Structure 1
Amino acid sequence: MRETPYKSYAKETNWFGIQMSNTFSFLSHDITYGFDYQTIDVSSLSFNKDGSRKAPYSPDNGRVNTGIYADGFLRFFDEYLIVNAGLRFDTFDLETKQTPLKTDFTPGSETFDIVNPRLGFKYFLDETRMFQFHSTIGTAFVPPESSEMAGYSERELSDGTIMIKKGNADLDPETSITIDFGFSVSKPSLGFFADITYFNTIVDDKIATHVISLTESSYNNAFEAKMNGVEWELSQDFGTLMAQDYSLELYLNGTFFIESEEQISENKWQDIYNVSPLKFNAGISYQDTVFFGKFNIRYMDERKDNDWYTSGYPEITYDDFTVCDLSFGANFQTYHKVKVNIENIFDEDYFEKPEYPLPGRSIYVDYSFQF
C-alpha cells in the first residue's frame, strides 16, 4: 500500500549581505579591490506523519563571512599578454545553536581564516588574436556545513533495521589548489570558437562520508583527493559564417575526468562517489530580430555511490541519463516578449541522488513587457 505523502521538513534561511568594490586604471591596467560581508541564519523543522514536531537532522545554525580582495587585470606587449592576479582574505564564523527538540549535540562555534591567491594569464599567438594560450592557478577553501558537524538522523528499513547518520564535530575545512592550461581558437567574424583545457585539482582534508558500521555512517576528512581531466567547448554560428542577419549556432561543451580519486587510508584510494566521468551539453540555437529558440541535450554518465538505504552501505552505480529541453518565443511591438520552455521533453525518469527524483516534463509560458 502506498504511503500517504506528508510534510516532513521545513527550513527557513535569512540572508543579509553587503558588497563594495572600486576599480581604478593606470596605463593599460585595471585594479579592482573590494569588501564582502554576509550573514546567514538557518532554522530547521522536522515533522512526524501525524504532524507533530520532532528533532531536525541539522541544528539551527549561523554563518558570518567577511572578505577583502584585490584583483589586477594587467596588459603587456601591446596586449598580446594579459595577466590576471588576485588575492583574497576570508574569515568565517560558524555557530551551531540551541535547537528545540534536538539534544544529540553540544552547541558551539568555530572560526576559520584563509588567504586564497590566484594567478592567470592568456597570450595571443598572432596579430588577429585568433589563437590563444591560457593558464590559471589558484587555491580554494570550503568550511564544513553544520549538518556535517552536528547532524543526526535515523531511517528505518523495511526489515526493521535502523540506519543512522551523524555529524562529526572535529571536521576540518577543505583546502585545494587547482592548475589548468588550454588552447583556444576564436574567429568572431566567422562565428567560430573552440577551446580545450586540461585541469588538475588536489584537495587536502576533503570532507567525505565515512562508513562506521553496517548501520552507521558519519563524515570525516579524507587524507587527500585528486581530480584531473579535460574540458572542451566548440561552437559554430552558421548565420555569421554566411553573413546573414540571424544567428544559427551549433554548440558542444563538456567535461571528462581522467582521474577522480580520494585517499581513505594510508595506502588505499577509491573513486570519489557521485562524480560522473563524462558529462556534456549539445544543441542548436536560433535568434533573429523577432524569433528565438534553443534545443539542448544534457548527458551525464554513470556514477558510483554508497547505497545509504541498505544495511552495510554497499557500493552501487547510478544509471546514466539524457535530458532534452526546448525553448522558443518571439519579441513583438518593441516592448513585448513571449517565451515557452519545455523542460525534459521526453519525460525522462532520472535523478542525481536516489529518492530525490528530478522533475518530469514541465511546460512554462512566460510573457514580459519591458519599457
Structure 2
Amino acid sequence: MTIKKNKLALLVGLLCAGSAAAQDVYTFDEVVVSATRSEQSISDVAVSVDVVDSKKIEENLAQDLEQAVANEPGVSMPGTGRFGNSGFNIRGLSENYVKTMVDGVEQPVSFDPGADVMRKYNNNVETDTLQRIEINKGPSSSLYGSDALAGAVIIRTKNPEDLLVPEGDDTYASVKTGYYSADESYKATATIANRTGDLDTLLIFTHRDGHETKTHSSGSDIEGRERGQADPFDINSDNLLLKAFYQINDDHRVGLTGEIFNREADGLISSNEGYEIMPGFVYTRNSANDEDKRRRVTFEHDWQANTTAFDRLKWQVTALESESLHNTFDETPEPPTSFGHGYRQRVRNGEDKSTQFDAQFDKAFDLATSYHEISYGVNYITNEFNLDYRDMYLEGSKAGTQADKAGDVPNAESVKWGIFVQDQAFLLEERLVLNAGLRYDSFSAEPKGTTEYANSESDAVTAKLGAVYHWTERLSSYANVSQGFKSPTLQDLYYFYETDAAYGAVYEANPDLKPEESVGYETGLRITQDFGRFDFAVYYNDYKNFIESTKLADNNGEGKELWSKQNISKAEIYGAEFKAQLALDVLLNAPTGMYSDFSVAYTKGKDKENGEALDTVSPLSAYFALGYANVEGTYGGKVAVKAVAGKSDSDWSNANIDTDNVSAPGYAVTDITAYYRPVSDLTVRAGLFNAFDKKYWEYTDLIGAESDTEGLDRRTQSGRNWGIEAEYVF
C-alpha cells in the first residue's frame, strides 16, 4: 500500500482537535518547524519542543524574551541590570550554548569579557513583532550547526498572512498601547498589513519609553555598594519591522524583510559611588550612556519546483549588523593622593557585521510501505567582529587627551558553513515515525591587522536518530539520540590580558581550541485525550571538551600567574520534565471555558572532572495556572503560580571562590492576568504580577555571589507590580 501525508488535511485536523467546549483554549496538538526544519505535527517529532505563540505572549503581557519564556519548563533567560538579558538557558546551559535564530537568521554570539563596562548581548527582540517562539530542547547541531550544544530557540516574526484573511484583497490595522509599573514604562505599537493582488505587505512600529526595572522595594535607596535599589536609568527603544512578499506565479514567491532596532539607556551607577577598590582609589561621579543597534535586510525566494531532485526550494540571503556602544563615566583621585585618572569617559564599543546565505531543499515521496520527507541544504555565514576601546580624559591633568586601549580580543573575521540532510520517514501505516539527520560544519577565524595571533580552524560532524511510535491514536512514545557542538568563540580563542603592575596575572590566547561537544539521550511519553494532553520526558546529556579558564603556571618567568583557555572539562546534565494541559469543562464538568496548565522540571548536573555542581543548572521548579475564557471570547483570565526550590551549599560549585556561594532561597510567585473585549475590535488586558509582594532572587543573578557580598538586595526581582494594555483593530 502507499502512504500519503496530506499537509492540508493535517493542518485542518490540528485546528479542529481538542475540546470544542474549551473554546479553542487548547488544540492539544500543533504544528512545529524547529524539530525537523519542516512542518510536522508535534506528535510526530522525537524531541521535546515548547511553543510560545503570539496569543500566549499577549495574554501574559510579556514585554521581553525573558518574560515570554518564563513559564516554560527547563527554560529561562538569565541577566539583569544595566546590560539586560544575556541569553537563553535550556536544561542547565546558557548563552552561547544555545542557538538563537530570528526568521532563519543566526544571531551573533554574546560577548562578555567580564568587566563592568562592556557587554554585547543580542537578545533585544521586540515581542510585539513575534508570531512564534519554538524552543528545541537538547543537542540540535545536526539541524542548526554550531552553538546548538544545549538546544535551539527558533523565533519567527509576524508575516502579513498571519493577520489577513486567507484569500483575496484585505487590510489589517491596529494600535496597541500599554503601561507597566515594574519599569514605569509605556509603549505604543502600530501594525498595518495589506494584500493587494499578489502583493502582501506588513509594517510594525513599536516605541517604548521607561526606566530601569525595579528591584524589591525593601532595598535601601542609597549611594554605594550597599545600595539595594536598581541603579536609576532612563531607557527608550524603537523597533521598525517591514515586510513585502510578491507571488510572481503559482510556483514562485519572493520576499523582502527589513528591521531596525535602537535602544538607548542613560543613567547613574549609584551602586559604584564611593567604591574604594584599593586604598585611596575611590570611584565617584559614576554614570553611563549606552546604545544598542541592530539592522537587518533579508531577501528570500520560495520555489514550488516539483522536480525530480526537490519539490520545494527556499533560500534567503541576509545582511545583519549589530552594535553595542557603551560610555562609562567616572572620577578617581589623581597623584599624589592616588594613581587615578581624574574625570574620564571610558568608550567600549563592539560591532558584528554578518552576511548569511541559507538554502533548503525538500522532497517527499512514497515507497512500497513507507512515506519519506527528505530535507537537505547548505548555509554559509561570514562575520566581522570589531572592538573600539578608548579612554577620554575630560577633567584633571590629562583633560583633552585620549588613550587608545587594546580590545579584549583582536578584531577578526570568522567564516562558518555547513551542509545537512535528514529524513522524516513514516512506516507501519504511519504508526512508526523515524527521523535521521547528518550534518557537516566548518569554522575558521582570522584576526585582522595583527600577526600576533594565529588563525583558527575546526570542523565537526553531527548526527541524530529519533523514533516515535503511536501505540494508539491517543498514546505515543519517543526516543532520540543527538549530537551537538559549539565552535570556540573569538573570546574563547583570543582573549588576552596582562596587568601593567609587577604582580597579578597574564592571560594568554589559545587559537588551538577544539569545539565543545555533546551527546543527548531522551525518551518520552505523550498522551492526548478529549480533556487534555500530557507530556513526560527524561533526558541525559553528556558533554566533553568544555572550554574553561585554566592556570598553566604559578610563575610565567616574570613573577605572574599564567592562565589560558583549555579544552579540559567534562560534564553531565540529566533530568525530567512533565507538562499537562487540561480542559476542565470536559474533565470535571466545570463551567465551559475552564482550563489549567501544569508543569514541573527537575535538573541535576555536575562537572565530571571534580564532581562539583554546575552553577547554571536550575533548581526544581513547577508552574500551575487556572484559567477561564467565556464562550463568546469577550472576557477571561487566569491565576498562575510559579514555584522554585532553593539553591545552596553543594548545589553550587566552589572551584573559583574561597567561600561558599550565597544561598538562593526558594520562592513562589503568583501572577493574575485578565482580558475584556467590550466591543469586538477592542481588547483590554491587565496583569498583577508578584501579587503577594514576595521578595525573591533568581538563582542566575546570585552565581558567584559570596555570603558577604554587598548589595544583595540590588539583585532581587521586582515586588508587586502591574501592567495594562489596550489594543484596537480597525
The normalised TM-score by structure 1 is 0.77
Preserved contact between residue 276 and residue 300 of structure 1 (Cα < 8 Å): no
Are the aligned partners of 2:695 and 2:716 in contact in 1 as well (CA < 8 Å)?
no
Pair 1:256-2:603 in alignment: yes
Do the aligned partners of 2:661 and 2:704 also contact (CA within 8 Å) in 1?
no
1:121 CA drift (Å): 0.5
Deviation of 1:17 after TM superposition, in Å, equals 2.4
- CA distance in structure 1 between the partners assigned to 2:601 and 2:590 by the alignment: 28
* Residue 113 (structure 1) shift: 2.2
Residue 174 in 1 paired to residue 516 in 2?
A: yes
Shift of the 35–97 alpha-carbon distance from structure 1 to 2, 3 Å rule, reads: same
8 Å CA contact 1:168–1:220 kept in 2: the answer is: yes
Specify the alignment match of 2:359 in structure 1.
20
Say whether 1:129 aligns with 2:474: yes
Q: Does 1:208 align with 2:548?
A: yes
Do 1:277 and 1:301's aligned partners in 2 also have CA atoms closer than 8 Å? no
Find the counterpart in structure 2 of residue 57 from structure 1.
408
Aligned partner of 1:348 in structure 2 is: 696
Contact 2:456 2:511 in 1 (8 A): no
Deviation at 1:13, TM superposition (A): 2.4
Distance in 2 separating the partners of 1:154 and 1:364: 48
- Give the one of 512, 519, 525 matched to 1:183: 525
- 1:144 lines up with 2:488 in the alignment: yes
Is contact 1:17–1:37 with CA below 8 Å preserved after alignment? yes
CA distance in 1, matches of 2:487, 2:407: 21
Distance 1:46-1:195 versus aligned 2 partners, 3 A rule? same
1:65 Cα offset (Å): 1.8
C-alpha contact 2:425 2:433 (8 A) present in aligned 1 = yes
Partner Cα distance (1:74, 1:98) in 2: 50
Structure 2 counterpart of 1:284, one-letter code: A
Task: Answer yes or no: is the 8 Å Cα contact 2:454–2:511 preserved in 1.
Answer: no
Paired residues, number: 349
Deviation at 1:109, TM superposition (A): 2.4
Distance 1:283 1:60 in 2: 48
**SS in structure 2 of the partner of residue 169 of structure 1:** coil
Closer, same or farther in 2 for the Cα pair 1:88/1:240, shift >3 Å? Answer: farther
Contact 1:196 1:233 in 2 (8 A): no
Q: Residue by residue, what CA displacement relative to the aligned partner does 1:253-282 show, whole Å, maximum 9, x if unpaired?
A: 31322x52232xxxxx33254233634241
- Cα displacement (A) at 1:141: 1.4
Q: Distance in 1 between matches of 2:620 and 2:383?
A: 32
Q: Secondary structure at the residue paired with 2:652?
A: strand
Query: 1:328 Cα deviation (Å)?
Result: 3.0
Aligned letter for 1:43?
Answer: N
Deviation at 1:32, TM superposition (A): 1.9
1:251 CA drift (Å): 1.1
Q: Please give the root-mean-square deviation of Cα atoms over the aligned residues, in Å.
A: 3.7
Which one of the candidate residues 274, 284, 290 is aligned to 2:615? 274
Q: What do residues 317-341 of structure 1 show as CA deviations (whole Å, max 9, x unaligned)?
A: 3532547474735363445444456
Query: Matched residues in 2 for 1:243 and 1:230: separation?
Result: 30
Deviation for aligned residue 1:189: 1.0
Q: Look up the equivalent residue of 2:652 and give its one-letter code.
A: K
- Report Cα offsets for 1:198-253 as digits up to 9, x if no partner: x2223232212324459664321115333333333344342453375525213123
Q: Is the 8 A contact 2:569 2:607 kept in 1?
A: no
Question: Match of 2:441?
Answer: 90
SS at match of 2:474: coil
Residue 196 of structure 1, aligned match among 537, 547, 552: 537
Give the gaps of 5 or more residues in structure 2. 1-273, 276-282, 289-327, 329-345, 395-401, 555-559, 706-713
Structure 1 residue 363, shift from structure 2 partner: 5.7
Structure 1 Cα separation of the partners of residues 618 and 439 of structure 2: 31
Take 1:277 and 1:293, find their aligned partners in 2: how far apart are those partners? 26
Cα gap change, 1:118 to 1:343, in 2 (>3 Å): farther
Q: Between Structure 1 and Structure 2, which shows a larger proportion of helix residues?
A: 2
1:226 aligns to 2:565 (yes or no): no
Aligned to 2:625: 284
CA–CA separation in structure 2 for the residues paired with 1:328 and 1:167 = 50
Highest relative contact order (Cα 8 Å, sep 6+), 1 or 2?
2
Q: Which residue of 2 aligns with 1:107?
A: 453
The 3 A distance-change label for structure 1 pair 239 and 233 is same
In the alignment, does 2:352 pair up with 1:10?
no
TM-score, normalized by length of structure 2? 0.42
658, 668, 673: which one pairs with 1:328?
A: 673
Letter in 2 for 1:278: P
Match of 1:266 in 2: none
CA distance, structure 1, for counterparts of residue 469 and residue 628 of structure 2 = 32
Structure with greater Cα Rg: 2
Higher mean C-alpha deviation, range 164-173 or range 361-370: 361-370
- What is the rounded CA distance, in whole Å, between the counterparts of 2:462 and 2:446 in structure 1? 23
Code of the residue aligned with 2:597 in structure 1: it is L
SS at match of 1:18: strand
Aligned-partner residue type, residue 26 of structure 1: F
Corresponding residue number in structure 1 for 2:417: 66
**Structure with greater strand share of residues:** 1
Equivalent residue of 2:573, what SS?
Answer: strand
Would you say the 8 A contact 1:97–1:108 is kept in 2? no
Query: Which range is displaced more, 331-340 or 164-173?
Result: 331-340
What fraction of aligned residue pairs are identical, expressed as a percent? 16
Are residues 23 and 244 of structure 1, via their aligned partners in 2, closer, same or farther at CA, if it must alter by over 3 Å? farther
Does the 8 A contact of 2:573 with 2:603 survive in 1?
A: no
In structure 2, C-alpha distance between the alignment counterparts of 1:235 and 1:85, rounded to whole Å: 30
Q: Alignment partner of 1:270: what SS?
A: coil
Deviations 1:59-84 (A, max 9, x none): 32333222222222111112221111
Cα pair 2:575 2:601 within 8 Å, conserved: no
**What is the distance in 1 between the residues matched to 2:590 and 2:619?**
35
Query: C-alpha displacement at 1:138, in angstroms?
Result: 1.4
* C-alpha contact 1:69 1:88 (8 A) present in aligned 2: yes
Q: Tell me which amino acid in the other structure corresponds to 1:80.
A: R
Q: How far off is 1:122 after superposition? A: 1.4
Cα–Cα, structure 1 residues 328 and 217, in superposed 2: closer, same or farther, change >3 Å? Answer: farther
CA contact (8 A) 1:273 1:304 kept: yes
Distance 1:129 1:193, change over 3 A: same
Indicate whether 1:299 and 2:647 are aligned.
no
What is the alpha-carbon distance in structure 2 between the residues aligned to residue 78 and residue 93 of structure 1? 45
Aligned mate of 1:31, from 355, 374, 390: 374
Q: 2:548, 2:569 within 8 Å by CA — same for their partners in 1? A: no
Q: 1:102 maps to which residue? A: none
Name the counterpart of 2:660.
316
What is the distance in 2 between the residues matched to 1:354 and 1:348? 17
Gaps of 5+ in 1: 100-104, 264-268
Amino acid of the structure 2 residue aligned with 1:173:
P
Name the CA distance, whole Å, in 1 between partners of 2:509 and 2:687.
Answer: 40
Instruction: Give the Cα–Cα distance (whole angstroms) in 2 for the partners of residues 220 and 122 of structure 1.
Output: 39
Range with bigger deviation, 20-29 or 349-358: 349-358
More off after superposition, 42-51 vs 278-287: 42-51
Whole-angstrom CA distance in 1 between matches of 2:513 and 2:621 = 34
- What letter corresponds to residue 252 of structure 1 in structure 2? S
